[in-house]
């Protein structure tokens, strides 16, 4: 059974001739449009498969020749990670405009499901695709589903709403990320006994909640000598996070592990450094920024869990594009990995 070597210079016309039909009919079969007799469909399909034929992407693009519009909806504020995503999007400008793709960033600082839902509602009919950093809330879920019903392709980004009908989630599995943090903290602490603290943004955020869950899972099952304290909620703000961390450090002199689940890393780190106990505390957090880079180099942080913002920006665009063009999504390529960054493998 030898695979026919695909002759790379075949065209639709050749297939048409071989199947004894016209160009238009082949096109119909290719795009599973109605109005072709089953027998004809089969003949065309056979001819296509016989040569493993693929229509030339460039020609299809050119002929369709429509400008494609995408929106990225997210709350940004001072969140460095979100800013990085936006900055990588604008790095793609050249690539995008050579394909007549327009990406609009719709940002807000408001952290409120109702507002997000209303924003999504306002997008009906205006975009071919929408990537949204969602809050997992019934109102948001409904807004996503409505948007999809209006004919817009929707993917979630960074934070998922699994109960919605979004076509894809571009981001990491947060339970696994939390477990990874747990393993790192546990293993790097080694045989010592003591307490471990968690500082999160809010347990209302699905991604934070999942990370906390995964972290606790690993610590309780595999590192019973470590006592995990109840998570503090620092709302991803530096000042508040610093206060909370300082308080934790003061109250627990046997604190030897610290997991910062969200942003606010700068505040947490300041408290750790000021306590003079940086070298005895294993400190793990998320996202690579100028701050966390420096903290890794100084040995204040021991590891950072990373989801590559550049990869996420590009993956979101590519997935939306594939959906618009009804092309297959390359799952392996678009999957976002949970990266562990330590001092020596910083990119």
Place of tokens 């071989």: 18
Pull the structure tokens for residue 331: 């799952």
Residues 324-343 interacting with a second copy (rule: CB under 8 A): 328, 330, 332-333, 335, 337-343
For residues 249 and 275, the answer to whether their CB atoms sit within 8 Å is yes
Contact partner, 12, from DNA, a second copy, none, Cβ < 5-8 Å per class = DNA
Q: Least distance from C-beta 344 to a second copy, angstroms?
A: 4
- Residue from 40, 202, 217, 275 binding DNA (CB under 7 A): 40
Ramachandran class of 296: left when φ > 0, alpha when ψ lies in -120 to 50, beta otherwise: alpha
**CA distances in angstroms from 45 to 15, 54, 81, listed in the order given:** 9, 12, 47
User: Tell me, what DSSP letter sits at residue 103?
Assistant: E
- 276 contact choice in a second copy, DNA, none (CB below 5 to 8 Å, kind-dependent): none
Q: In angstroms, what is the minimal distance from the CB of 7 to a second copy?
A: 10
Task: Confirm or reject binding of residue 307 to a second copy (CB under 8 A).
Answer: no
Q: Is 24 one of the binding residues for a second copy (CB under 8 A)?
A: no
Residue 226 contacts a second copy per CB under 8 A: no
Binding span for DNA by CB under 7 A among 58-66, 188-196, 257-265, 288-296 = 58-66
**Both tokens assigned to 92:** 């793609």
94 binds a second copy (CB under 8 A): yes
Which residues between 61 and 80 bind DNA (CB under 7 A)?
62-65
H or E stretch covering 74: strand 68-75
Whole-number Å distance between alpha carbons of 265 and 343: 17
Q: Name the one range near a second copy by CB under 8 A: 99-107, 145-153, 238-246, 273-281.
A: 99-107
Closest alpha carbon to 75 in 236, 307, 251: 236
Q: How far apart are CA 49 and CA 55, in angstroms?
A: 12
Query: What is the pairing mode between strands 153-157 and 129-132?
Result: parallel
218 near a second copy, rule: CB under 8 A: yes
What is the distance between the alpha carbons of residues 302 and 343, in angstroms, rounded to a whole number? Answer: 8
Report the nearest approach of DNA to the CB of residue 29 (Å): 9
Which of 299-334 are b and which e, b meaning 16 or more Cβ less than 10 Å from the residue's Cβ? ebbbbbbbbbbebbbbbbbbbbbbbbeeeebeeeeb
Minimum CB–partner distance for residue 8 and a second copy (Å): 5
Contacted by 342, from a second copy, DNA, none: CB < 5 to 8 Å by type: a second copy
Among 6, 7, 24, 250, binds DNA (CB under 7 A): 24
Task: Give the residue with the Cβ less far from a second copy, 233 or 334.
Answer: 334
166 forms part of the interface with DNA (CB under 7 A): no
DSSP label of 50: H
In angstroms, the Cα distances linking 280 to 174, 190, 296, 304 are 27, 12, 14, 17
* Binding stretches for DNA (CB under 7 A): 9, 11-13, 20-25, 27-28, 30-31, 34-37, 39-40, 55-56, 59-60, 62-65
* Binding stretches for a second copy (CB under 8 A): 6, 8-9, 52, 54-62, 67, 88, 91, 94-95, 97-100, 102, 176-177, 179-180, 182-184, 187-188, 190-191, 214, 218, 302, 308, 310, 314, 328, 330, 332-333, 335, 337-345, 347
């Amino acid at each position: 059974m030898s695979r026919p070597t695909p002759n790379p210079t075949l065209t639709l016309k050749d297939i048409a001739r071989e199947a004894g039909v016209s160009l238009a009919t082949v096109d119909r079969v290719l795009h599973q449009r109605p109005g072709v007799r089953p027998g004809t469909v089969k003949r065309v399909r056979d001819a296509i498969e016989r040569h493993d034929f693929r229509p030339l992407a460039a020609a299809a693009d050119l002929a369709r020749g429509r400008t494609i519009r995408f929106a990225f909806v997210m709350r940004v504020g001072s969140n460095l990670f979100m800013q990085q995503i936006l900055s990588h999007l604008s790095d793609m400008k050249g690539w995008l405009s050579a394909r007549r793709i327009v990406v609009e960033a719709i940002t807000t600082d408001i952290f409120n499901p109702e507002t997000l839902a209303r924003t999504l509602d306002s997008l009906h009919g205006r975009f071919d695709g929408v990537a949204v950093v969602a809050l997992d809330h019934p109102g948001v879920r409904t807004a996503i589903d409505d948007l999809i019903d209006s004919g817009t392709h929707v993917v979630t980004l960074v934070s998922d709403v699994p109960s919605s009908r979004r076509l894809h989630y571009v981001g990491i599995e947060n339970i696994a990320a939390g477990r990874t943090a747990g393993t790192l903290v546990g293993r790097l602490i080694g045989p010592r006994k003591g307490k471990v603290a968690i500082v999160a943004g809010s347990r209302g955020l699905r991604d934070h909640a999942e990370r906390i869950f995964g972290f606790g899972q690993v610590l309780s099952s595999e590192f019973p000598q470590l006592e995990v304290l109840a998570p503090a909620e620092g709302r991803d703000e530096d000042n508040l996070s610093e206060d909370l961390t300082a308080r934790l450090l003061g109250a627990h002199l046997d604190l030897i592990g610290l997991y910062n689940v969200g942003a606010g890393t700068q505040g947490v780190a300041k408290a750790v450094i000021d306590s003079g106990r940086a070298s005895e505390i294993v400190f793990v957090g998320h996202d690579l920024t100028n701050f966390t880079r420096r903290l890794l180099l100084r040995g204040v942080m021991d590891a950072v869990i990373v989801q590559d913002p550049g990869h996420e920006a590009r993956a979101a665009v590519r997935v939306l594009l594939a959906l618009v063009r009804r092309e297959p999504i390359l799952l392996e390529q678009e999957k976002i990995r949970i990266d562990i960054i330590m001092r020596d493998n910083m990119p």
